[in-house]
Amino acid sequence: MATVRVQRDDFDPGAEAEALARGRTDVGALASFVGYCRDEGGGLAALELEHYSGMAEEEIALAVREAEARWPLIGVTAIHRHGRIKPGERIVFVAVAAAHRGAAFAAAEMLMDYLKTRAPFWKRAIGVEGEAQGWVEAKADDDLSAARWSGANGAPQSGP
In a domain, 109, yes or no: yes
Residue 156 lies in a domain: no
Residue 92 lies in a domain: yes
Question: Between 54 and 132, where is the model more confident?
Answer: 54
**Residue 128 vs residue 160, higher pLDDT:** 128
User: What is the phi-psi region of residue 55: left when phi exceeds 0, alpha when psi lies from -120 to 50, beta otherwise?
Assistant: alpha
Domain count for the chain: 1
In a domain, 18, yes or no: yes
Nearest to 86 by CA among 56, 50, 127: 127
> Does residue 158 lie within any of the structural domains?
no
Residues 100-113: what's their mean pLDDT? 96
Is 78 part of a structural domain of the chain? Answer: yes
Question: What is the pTM assigned to this prediction?
Answer: 0.88
Specify the higher pLDDT residue, 148 or 109: 109
Distance CA 112, CA 41 (A): 24
User: Do residues 133 and 104 make contact, with C-beta atoms less than 8 angstroms apart?
Assistant: no
> Confidence band (pLDDT; 50, 70, 90) for 159?
very low
In a domain? residue 157: no
What would the mean pLDDT of 76-102 be, rounded to a whole number? 97
- Domain contains 155: no
CATH of residue 54: 3.90.1170.40
Q: Domain range holding 70?
A: 2-150
Q: What is the pLDDT of residue 155?
A: 54
CA distances 87 to 10, 28, 57, 84, Å, are 13, 34, 24, 10
Q: What share of the chain is helix, strand, coil (3-state, %, to 5)?
A: 35, 35, 30
